[in-house]
């Protein structure tokens, strides 16, 4: 695995220009990780997305592939900054913790999990990713966090980005700036990204979560994701049966949603 990791970044740097372009213009990339990125973002091509939306998950997938099939390894994971790729053999399981607010992680508060869920080898899920406006990357939306389960970490990564973008609403309490003003080499250009979210009214929180939930539902019905947890200012919406055994701890204004059937 370590040997493969030493070559991954060099390969990506060599194709950065197409990878920072809309996914439709990146179909000719050659690298294995680059192709994973394009493949994971392709289902979202109806909206603006670049393959960089799946880079962390795609790297995790590439590295976990190095241990699949290796004798004696029954369970393994690669956690690339919260984008997780899994290897599970029969009878194995992996429990994932959830923080509803990525900002609490950044502030390095003393943390307890807000919830968790279990992935078993019998489910098709092998990737988990989380996105939100206070995550490592810019977001067009206002979600405190969106955690997605999918067949691969790359697909979870791209889908979490897009669902988090869809958790959105207009309100004076929300501050946005052009991405290029915040980072010179951003793939988002002058698109407005969220830099601050004040306290929102209940109707605004409901509206924003409804937009994200609708988008997650479309992806679930298309088979792109297996489930998602959407969080905004103490309210939570959950979709998808693939979350398996689920324990969401009580939080203020928590919503209960039946899995999509």
Average pLDDT across the chain, whole number = 88
Mean of pLDDT values over 88-114: 77
**Cα-only R_g, the chain:** 18
The model's pLDDT over 209-237, given as tens digits with 9 standing for 90+, comes to: 999 999 999 999 999 999 999 999 999 99
Higher pLDDT, 111 or 116: 116
The reported pLDDT for the residue numbered 68 is 87
**Per-residue pLDDT reduced to its tens digit, 163-192:** 999 999 999 999 999 999 999 989 999 999
Q: Which long-range contacts (CB under 8 A, 24 or more apart) does 90-93 make?
A: 90/121, 91/121, 92/120, 92/121, 93/118, 93/119, 93/120, 93/121
Q: Which two tokens stand for residue 159?
A: 């889908």
Q: Tell me the C-alpha to C-alpha distance, in Å, between residue 104 and each of 126, 175, 201.
A: 26, 19, 21
CATH topology for 2-248 is T-fold (3.10.520)
Q: What pLDDT is attached to residue 107?
A: 53
pLDDT single digits (tens) 57-76: 999 999 999 988 788 899 99
Res 241: pLDDT: 58
pTM: 0.89
């Amino acid at each position: 695995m370590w040997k493969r990791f030493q070559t991954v970044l060099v390969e990506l740097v060599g194709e950065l220009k197409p990878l920072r372009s809309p996914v439709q213009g990146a179909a000719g990339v050659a690298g294995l990780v680059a192709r994973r990125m394009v493949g994971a973002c392709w289902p979202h091509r109806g909206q603006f997305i670049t393959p960089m939306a799946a880079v962390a998950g795609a790297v995790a997938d590439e590295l976990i592939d190095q241990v699949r099939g290796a004798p004696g390894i029954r369970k393994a994971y690669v956690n690339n900054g919260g984008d997780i790729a899994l290897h599970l053999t029969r009878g194995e399981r992996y429990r994932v913790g959830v923080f509803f607010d990525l900002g609490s992680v950044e502030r390095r508060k003393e943390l307890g999990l807000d919830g968790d869920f279990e992935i078993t080898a019998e489910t098709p899920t092998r990737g988990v990713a989380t996105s939100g406006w206070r995550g490592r990357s810019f977001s067009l939306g206002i979600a405190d966090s969106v955690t997605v389960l999918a067949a691969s970490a790359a697909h979870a990564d791209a889908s979490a980005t897009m669902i988090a973008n869809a958790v959105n609403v207009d309100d004076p309490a929300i501050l946005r700036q052009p991405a290029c003003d915040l980072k010179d080499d951003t793939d988002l250009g002058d698109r407005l990204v969220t830099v601050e979210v004040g306290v929102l009214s209940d109707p605004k929180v409901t509206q924003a979560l409804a937009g994200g939930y609708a988008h997650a539902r479309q992806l679930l019905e298309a088979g792109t994701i297996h489930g998602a947890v959407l969080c905004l200012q103490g309210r939570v919406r959950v979709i998808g049966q693939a979350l398996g055994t689920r324990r969401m701890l009580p939080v203020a204004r928590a919503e209960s949603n039946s899995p999509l059937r």
